[in-house]
Chain A
């Protein structure tokens, strides 16, 4: 009797189908927030979305492209400033200006990468920090943006609170789609294979024909734009930007914390980490410095004993990816 072997490639899993459905529900719920949630909850959602996006972009850089950056605040700050300049000084509709302001991080990312691309590992990290500090210093010397005194987004008062909230939740949905959805799409694509290979060993990947340099460049610029979008939305909600706030190195520490605790090199990890950070911040932020020390110790423990982070621990309980990027060959035997 002859056995017919039928082969197919499985990409979705039960857990991913559930996660995808839940993801769509969450996005719809997010966009519908002005009609069911309080203004305070919407504000929390905006901040949470920004944290998720910033962390996700850092995860893409550090977790996949092997580019550990501690200078992502440069892109948060320039996008925020660009938004304020366009909306406040040029009278552009602020919700349109959010997207126009993405030009700034993109334009900054190109020379930054070209300058730093030859640096490796920790040298690259320090290089990005230097760039971020240089941009901060430059900004605090430009009188056009009020130098060190910072700017206020007074134009927001011309919209009613409802209008602002509707626009904000739509922007947040776009932000999540672009950062999480974009990362997922990228990782499932042909480039995703190359990225995964690069994450595991860049030299081996290059020997297999992956153009490591070009891919890193594209990821660096994409991550800068994604981080910039989060920064523009964050400062539109905060209404006020100063060089010290916009280019605060704390942004980098936050992204590192979220990704390390959540689980580096996985989309799920960044989301989990952002949720942990966000709620820890709301619940224990009152304790001031003591709480920051606890966060630091937590990162340390995870770095030493559970390098896969919370997501890594969850994976040990069972392989239930939310965003599977693996391909599984299934061979079915039929009589």
Chain B
């Protein structure tokens, strides 16, 4: 979608060369008439995993970016002056090397004024590291704040240029234990973590899930981490069976969870509760599980039931989700809310910036953000880390749906009881 190279179907040499010129300066093409003539242009770099294993995140980025393009087609007004907005959307192919290359390219060759690495640790961190080195304000989301801060060595020294809003592991733990307490079990939890950036953060014995689960009064059993895309979970399953774990919790991706659940069933291991992050975020993930997917539970950070509205368009969460379902014909997904909220923060930052073409001015404006967005209020400084703002999180369970095969119902609001009420009561898994 970044390219409108060539309206003709066939390529002759001249149009190919013209096309090449267009690609090197690949931007989202705007009708020229719509742009304010002679106005200065603010460039914003967006790096998103549009293809590859993280493409479910990239899907909402691409959609939201095109919506925002329509919104700012006439430019935005800052300090009485109109600026054009140019969004440079790049596909990182779910590859951290590529994300770093693209970030360097956008910063140095395209000279973007602001950077938006959209989605997931593998894209956020390499991009944010480049931004930190070259001094470009950067706002990201969609990964727990520990995964943004700790692997980048930000625990002792805060970052100067990179900001992040999302929940943290302590919050996901709160919702996980909240859900587990609402159901009758023996309190023994089997932990499932992959050997990658996310798994290491979640499974960390100092600040991760296992110590916190124990603190909440559960017994935690953490066998060795599994290699992503493995086809053998027998080591984990036998530990869980031996210790009679009635709860399985952790983080996995869709393919791994599917393998794990299938093998549980084969080996007659039937926990009452399976609550995992990441894999159960997307409806396609739960649909891949088939009937076994019903009543699995996960963290919820945005649903159409959220009571907030967009500061850009005034749409409610429900309206944003409806627009997505109508435009794409697919069920809403959680990153949709965050993709929108990131743009709320970016455009708000630019509007408050003393000079939206200047990276330092934009950074100062970004740091001073105080905005009510679609995913909750965003402001930096009160959070657990100077570069981080925490947003609400709930516990949810997938149940048989009405319009779509599965619906995500909120079953726990123990961390943010004021924001919304649970839709339903948590139910144990049915293995029959």
Interface residue ranges, A against B (CB under 8 Å): 38-44, 47, 88, 137, 140-141, 146-154, 156-157, 161, 237-240, 242, 244-245, 248, 250, 282-289
A148 touches B199 (CB 8 A): yes
CB atoms of B129 and A161 under 8 A apart: no
Which of A39, A154, A248, A283 contacts B153, CB < 8 Å? A154
Residues of A within 8 A of B200 (CB): 146-149
Question: In the complex, what distance in Å separates the CA atom of A90 from the CA atom of B122?
Answer: 26
In the complex, what residues of A have CB within 8 A of residue B152's CB? 152, 154, 240
Tell me whether A283 and B23 are in contact (CB under 8 A). yes
Is B132 within 8 A of A47, CB to CB? no
Given contacts A141-B195, A148-B200, contact A38 B96 (CB under 8 A): no
Q: A137 to B224, alpha carbons, bound, how many Å?
A: 13
- Shortest Cβ distance from B111 into A: residue: A40
Which residue from chain B places its CB closest to the CB of A159 in the assembled complex?
A: B133
Pairwise interchain contact A239-B96, C-beta atoms closer than 8 A: no
| Contact yes or no, B129 A149, CB < 8 A | no
A324–B227 Cα distance when bound, in Å, is 48
Q: Which of B67-75, B102-110, B332-340 contacts A (4 or more CB under 8 A)?
A: B102-110
- Sample (16) of A-B pairs whose CB atoms are under 8 Å apart: A40-B105, A40-B110, A42-B108, A43-B105, A43-B108, A44-B105, A147-B195, A147-B200, A149-B197, A150-B96, A150-B125, A154-B152, A238-B97, A239-B133, A242-B122, A289-B51
Min Cβ gap B246→A in Å is 28
Q: A149-B151, A286-B3 are in contact. Are A245 and B95 (CB under 8 A)?
A: yes
In the bound complex, residues from chain A placing their C-beta under 8 Å from that of B134 are 161
Which interface residue of A38, A44, A285 has the most chain B CB atoms within 10 A?
Answer: A285
Q: What string of 1s and 0s marks CB contacts (under 8 Å) between B210-227 and chain A?
A: 000000000000000101
Question: How far is the CB of B145 from the nearest CB of chain A, in Å?
Answer: 14
A328 to B429, CA, bound (A): 80
Minimal Cβ-Cβ distance residue in A for B108: A40
* B132-A157 in contact (CB<8A): yes
Q: Which residues of A lie under 8 Å from residue B104 when comparing CB positions?
A: 40, 43, 237-238
Residue of B nearest to A146 (CB): B151
Q: Are A148 and B196 in contact (CB under 8 A)?
A: yes
B368 close to A (CB within 8 Å)? no
Query: Separation in Å of the B196 CB from the closest CB of chain A?
Result: 4
Contact of B91 among A38, A42, A242, A286 (CB under 8 A): A286
State the Cβ distance, A47 to closest chain B Cβ, in Å. 6
Interface status of B235 (Cβ within 8 A of chain A):
no
